[in-house]
Chains A and B, each alone.
Chain A
Amino acid sequence: MVLRKEGHEIMLKHWRILLLVIMVSASLLTIFLRPQYNGVQIAYVYADSPAKNVLQQGMIISQVNGVPIHSIEEWTSATKNISGEFKLKVNNNDYKFNLNSTGMGVEVNDVDRTNLDFGIDIKGGTRIILKPKENASSQMLDQIIGTLQTRANIYGLREIKFTPARGISGDYYVEVEASGVGREVVDTLLSKQGNFEAKIVKPVYLSGNKGVFDLGENKYDVEYFGNETVKISNLTVKMNDSFVLDNIDFEFVNVTQSNVLLFLGSAYKGNDIEMVYTDAQHSGIIPGKNYFEFYFGVLVSEKGAERFAKITSGIPSQLDLNSGDYYLKDTKILLYLDNQQVSDLRIASTLGGKAYTTPQITGSRESKDTALEEKLKLQTILRSGALPVSLETVSVGVISPTLGSGFIFSVAFAACLAAVVVMAIIFVRYRKLGVALPIALIGFSEVVIILGIAATNDWFIWGTALVLNSIIVMLAWWKKYEMDPTSWIGAMLIPLLGLLTWTIDLPVISGIIATVGMSVDSMIIIADETLSGSGEKKILFTIRDKIKRAFFIIFGSASTVIAAMTPLIFIGIGFVRGFAITTIIGVLVGILITRPAYAEIVESENLSSHKKEKKE
């Protein structure tokens, strides 16, 4: 009778296995479906590389001087003896470079073959944990991450991820994960608060002990009492005191031997900067004797420019004998970033007392590259604006990229070995290949489904899977095949979970190991409940009953695991969370999809062997 049934009806009867097949296929598609390129992928371009600012991380190099490249080895040998001019084919575009003595300065990886995002502990990179130095709120954290993201974008850091995290005592952290970012970038670019201030030295010349504090329209009488005390208008100020005059912050800093009082007036702050120039006309590098000077202009607000005019009014000019230019005497404009002076400039005499809106920021470094890098960093920080609080680097991990894809291969190899061991033990115990082989297959399919869920989501694939699942479950229900609510939940929930995406790192791999182990345990319980006392005569009813009892145990232990892991999603920084999420999703996949399918396999296996016995 059974034999006469139509093929599709038999398939539908085993609808649980059908669900598993659909989920595995959908997962394989989400993992592997992507445009494939030949070549090598750029991992990092060093600052001294001729390709800096031209090539970027993630680009794919397919040819060197016309020679096609398929692997890292071919890349290494092709670029080993290159000097002078050479050509690269990158993302199907041709680029020409001139190689100097510093070498290529481009690090490459194998091209990504999957849609899986591997963590830096597997592919190499830097993980940094930053902590706000003061108490921060979650809004502040969002603002911090926004600013950091802007800095990363402006600076050209690719593949950098910022994640907010909260410790159990309520402290906030920012987790930064990036490939190809060194500690120095973090210290000078990311953790800098970026409070910018331009101060101008304001000299007041004394005749006798009196002078004038000239702020353009307003002029104030100054009387010096010696003893580092000065009276301005009716304010008495001591050395290093701050005071406000015409809405400008001043500080009394020095008295020179030639009886000049020096004050520092704050002309511009970070929020006065309206634009940072990056074009060649307003920014660049000038080689000096044994250093390189960089400069770039900024556009400041009118208010800032007015403050500049006030502070610089009434300052006499002086001829610089070296250059033949006139500059304002006894003054400088000092630029500070986070209270550290980054540059000091003389002020051309023509600017005195004028509303000056385009001051320049300059500095010098030993080499052209470091000067370029410093310029870019300062521009980046000024463009992104200041962070609401300063950050402290509490953890830095720099992981060598050599593990790479070879590591994943080894993990897969270990998994195969483990599967062989498991199959051997199960086979020795039950003497049935029909019990042992499916355990290994289902173990693997569980790994595939977890990875498929973690892979970059693909709406189309998971949507199709959801539709197919629904059709199958409904048809099976309509045809009155045995049903249970968990399978309904599984058919709907797992494709929806597929829309999640997370990074495969070591904690996640640990989580996968944990769930597959538990899954194997559960399958042993199913096999055991079904096969136990196989000598006795059995009817269909008892097998179903036994599987039900097996599922009582399986659901029991699965719910303890889910209960134990759920609180861990909500605490902590990184590690524990990835582990907990993977374990929970793995267990869900297990109890809703894979373990029911295994029960179905073992049940039909057992029934068919029973029928054989009956016939005999």
Chain B
Amino acid sequence: MRINYKILLVIPVAVFLLSAAILINQYIQTGELLKRSIDMKGGTVVTINTAESLNIDALESQLKQKFQPIVVREVRSFKGYGTVIETSTDVKAEDILAAVKAMGIDTRDNSIETIGPSLGAAFWSQAQLAMALAFIFMGIVVFVIFRTFVPSMAVIISAFGDIFMTLAFMQLFGIELSLAGLAAILMLIGYSVDTDILLTTRMLRETEDKTSDEKIKHAMKTGLTMTLTAIGALIPLLLLGLSPVITQIANVLMIGLAFDIMNTWITNVAILRWYCERKGMK
């Protein structure tokens, strides 16, 4: 039962359009394509670590009476709970800590991070450049490796698909792009290209007398093992909730690896098959 790969291609195209819709919708509503965390736009984050979970809603409404803007959320930290209070750089972190302490909460174990708006902007432009450069250099190397246009483009398109869709779905899940998220996106370039190179090599360079279908099946077995092991290894990292940084990396990578399965084994396969058929390979 062979499914026509051209029909299967509908799935990644649909997800791509959906991702574009998410980003456009976000842009219309907020004027920004991506939600950025404090590190990328400037602001102050106060994190209070406690053994017990705090009442986030009560804390937020009480703090909002004194300070604006205030966002309070909770993260699992490795020693219990971390209550994250985000505000602008105009508000003094010490004042927030004092106010929280006045509510009878133990604030001794705290971390404060202030990023000035100019530095936040610098980080953001740095992040954009980093993503662009990493992607361009990856593309150049892919061209050097395969030296044929269509297969190289197939790798690059599916890597782009991974990153584009991951960024879009991060918006959907409310994951703000932070420096940690940037690291994850950059890692994703590596992981995504891994399976694509595997596939392309097996398709184009394998000399043994096999049909395309057999080659794809063989590559897919290997590739899926690779991706599944990666996802499997990320689960303990995510469950232990070691630190917000590692949790965010794990989250973004999981989303990205899920899309990578689709983009490698549908998008890239479809382009390669079409290429091989045109070239008269079996």
Specify whether A and B are partners: yes
Residues of A within 8 A of B (CB): 121, 129, 131, 167-169, 171, 173, 392-400, 402-403, 406-407, 410-411, 413-414, 417-419, 421-422, 424-426, 429, 506-507, 509-511, 513-514, 517-518, 520-521, 524-525, 528, 532, 549, 552-553, 556-557, 559-561, 563-568, 571-573, 575-576, 579-580, 583
Question: Bound complex: CA of A573 vs CA of B186, how far in Å?
Answer: 16
- A398 lies within 8 A of B191 (CB): no
- B194 lies within 8 A of A402 (CB): no
CB-defined A-B contacts under 8 Å, sample of 10:
A167-B126, A398-B113, A517-B187, A520-B233, A556-B201, A557-B198, A564-B134, A565-B134, A567-B137, A583-B190
Main SS class of interface, B: helix
Please name the residue on chain B nearest to A129 by beta carbon.
Answer: B119
Which of these, A399, A521, A549, A568, contacts B229 with CB under 8 Å?
A: A521
Known: A131-B118, A410-B242, A557-B197. 9 other contacts (CB 8 A): A395-B115, A413-B240, A422-B232, A510-B183, A549-B201, A553-B197, A564-B138, A567-B137, A573-B126
**Minimum CB–CB distance for A15 against chain B, Å:** 27
A171 — which chain B residues lie within 8 A by C-beta?
A: 122
Please name the residue on chain A nearest to B233 by beta carbon.
Answer: A418
- A553 lies within 8 A of B111 (CB): no
B129 — which chain A residues lie within 8 A by C-beta?
A: 168, 571
B110 — which chain A residues lie within 8 A by C-beta?
A: 398, 400
- A517 lies within 8 A of B191 (CB): yes
- B141 on the interface (CB 8 Å rule)? yes
Given contacts A397-B113, A517-B230, contact A573 B123 (CB under 8 A): yes
Question: Bound complex: CA of A402 vs CA of B50, how far in Å?
Answer: 11
- B198 lies within 8 A of A563 (CB): no
- B190 lies within 8 A of A560 (CB): yes
- B229 lies within 8 A of A576 (CB): no
Question: Bound complex: CA of A422 vs CA of B189, how far in Å?
Answer: 21
Which of these, A129, A402, A418, contacts B79 with CB under 8 Å?
A: A402
**Minimum CB–CB distance for B40 against chain A, Å:** 11
- B183 lies within 8 A of A411 (CB): no
- A568 lies within 8 A of B133 (CB): yes
**Minimum CB–CB distance for A426 against chain B, Å:** 7
**Minimum CB–CB distance for B232 against chain A, Å:** 4
- A520 lies within 8 A of B119 (CB): no
Given contacts A518-B190, A559-B145, A576-B130, contact A422 B125 (CB under 8 A): no
A572 — which chain B residues lie within 8 A by C-beta?
A: 123, 126, 130
B243 — which chain A residues lie within 8 A by C-beta?
A: 403, 407, 506
Within 8 A of A (CB), among B48-69: 49
Pick from B4-12, B29-37, B220-228 the stretch touching chain A.
B220-228
Question: Bound complex: CA of A559 vs CA of B47, how far in Å?
Answer: 39
- B237 on the interface (CB 8 Å rule)? yes
**Minimum CB–CB distance for A584 against chain B, Å:** 11
Q: Which of B113, B145, B225: most chain A Cβ within 10 A?
A: B225
- A560 lies within 8 A of B236 (CB): no
- B236 lies within 8 A of A525 (CB): no
- A393 lies within 8 A of B189 (CB): no
Given contacts A395-B116, A417-B236, A571-B126, contact A564 B135 (CB under 8 A): yes
- B245 lies within 8 A of A510 (CB): yes
Given contacts A167-B126, A422-B233, A525-B198, contact A509 B246 (CB under 8 A): yes
Question: Bound complex: CA of A418 vs CA of B229, how far in Å?
Answer: 9
B27 — which chain A residues lie within 8 A by C-beta?
A: none
- A532 lies within 8 A of B198 (CB): no
- A169 lies within 8 A of B78 (CB): no
**Minimum CB–CB distance for A163 against chain B, Å:** 15
Question: Bound complex: CA of A187 vs CA of B200, how far in Å?
Answer: 57
A173 — which chain B residues lie within 8 A by C-beta?
A: 119
- A576 lies within 8 A of B182 (CB): yes
Question: Bound complex: CA of A169 vs CA of B126, how far in Å?
Answer: 9
**Minimum CB–CB distance for B256 against chain A, Å:** 12
Within 8 A of A (CB), among B183-237: 183-184, 186-187, 189-191, 193-194, 197-198, 201, 205-206, 218, 221-222, 225-226, 228-230, 232-237
Given contacts A402-B109, A560-B197, contact A169 B190 (CB under 8 A): no
Q: Which of A397, A400, A421: most chain B Cβ within 10 A?
A: A400
**Minimum CB–CB distance for B273 against chain A, Å:** 19
Given contacts A168-B125, A395-B119, A520-B233, contact A576 B183 (CB under 8 A): yes
A559 — which chain B residues lie within 8 A by C-beta?
A: 141, 145
- A414 lies within 8 A of B183 (CB): no
Residues of B within 8 A of A (CB): 47, 49, 78-79, 109-116, 118-119, 122-123, 125-127, 129-130, 133-135, 137-138, 140-142, 145, 179-180, 182-184, 186-187, 189-191, 193-194, 197-198, 201, 205-206, 218, 221-222, 225-226, 228-230, 232-237, 240, 242-243, 245-246, 249
Please name the residue on chain A nearest to B116 by beta carbon.
Answer: A394
Question: Bound complex: CA of A532 vs CA of B208, how far in Å?
Answer: 12
Which of these, A131, A398, A506, contacts B246 with CB under 8 Å?
A: A506
Which of these, B122, B218, B230, contacts A168 with CB under 8 Å?
A: B122
**Minimum CB–CB distance for A547 against chain B, Å:** 14
- B237 lies within 8 A of A513 (CB): yes
- B236 lies within 8 A of A421 (CB): yes
**Minimum CB–CB distance for A580 against chain B, Å:** 8
Please name the residue on chain B nearest to A404 by beta carbon.
Answer: B79
Closest CB pairs A-B (n = 7): A417-B236, A394-B116, A564-B134, A418-B233, A563-B137, A394-B119, A397-B113
- B114 lies within 8 A of A411 (CB): no
- A396 lies within 8 A of B113 (CB): yes
Which of these, A393, A429, A564, contacts B137 with CB under 8 Å?
A: A564
**Minimum CB–CB distance for A125 against chain B, Å:** 10
Given contacts A521-B226, A564-B135, A568-B134, contact A398 B236 (CB under 8 A): no
Given contacts A407-B78, A421-B233, A528-B225, contact A553 B249 (CB under 8 A): no
Given contacts A510-B246, A528-B221, A573-B123, contact A517 B133 (CB under 8 A): no
Given contacts A131-B119, A402-B109, A410-B78, contact A395 B114 (CB under 8 A): yes
Question: Bound complex: CA of A549 vs CA of B47, how far in Å?
Answer: 50
Which of these, A392, A528, A557, A571, contacts B193 with CB under 8 Å?
A: A557
Question: Bound complex: CA of A169 vs CA of B118, how far in Å?
Answer: 12
- B201 lies within 8 A of A553 (CB): yes
**Minimum CB–CB distance for B127 against chain A, Å:** 8
Question: Bound complex: CA of A561 vs CA of B47, how far in Å?
Answer: 34
Which of these, A394, A400, A425, A563, contacts B138 with CB under 8 Å?
A: A563
**Minimum CB–CB distance for B188 against chain A, Å:** 10
Question: Bound complex: CA of A228 vs CA of B179, how far in Å?
Answer: 59
Which of these, A131, A395, A421, A557, contacts B232 with CB under 8 Å?
A: A421
- A524 lies within 8 A of B233 (CB): no
- B115 lies within 8 A of A394 (CB): yes
**Minimum CB–CB distance for A561 against chain B, Å:** 4
Which of these, A167, A392, A556, A580, contacts B145 with CB under 8 Å?
A: A556
**Minimum CB–CB distance for A219 against chain B, Å:** 53
- B198 lies within 8 A of A518 (CB): no
B228 — which chain A residues lie within 8 A by C-beta?
A: 425
A414 — which chain B residues lie within 8 A by C-beta?
A: 236-237, 240, 242
- B222 lies within 8 A of A400 (CB): no
Given contacts A513-B249, A566-B137, A567-B134, contact A167 B187 (CB under 8 A): no
Please name the residue on chain B nearest to A580 by beta carbon.
Answer: B186
Please name the residue on chain A nearest to B142 by beta carbon.
Answer: A560
A520 — which chain B residues lie within 8 A by C-beta?
A: 226, 229-230, 233
A410 — which chain B residues lie within 8 A by C-beta?
A: 78, 240, 242
- B226 lies within 8 A of A397 (CB): no
**Minimum CB–CB distance for A548 against chain B, Å:** 11
A552 — which chain B residues lie within 8 A by C-beta?
A: 201, 205
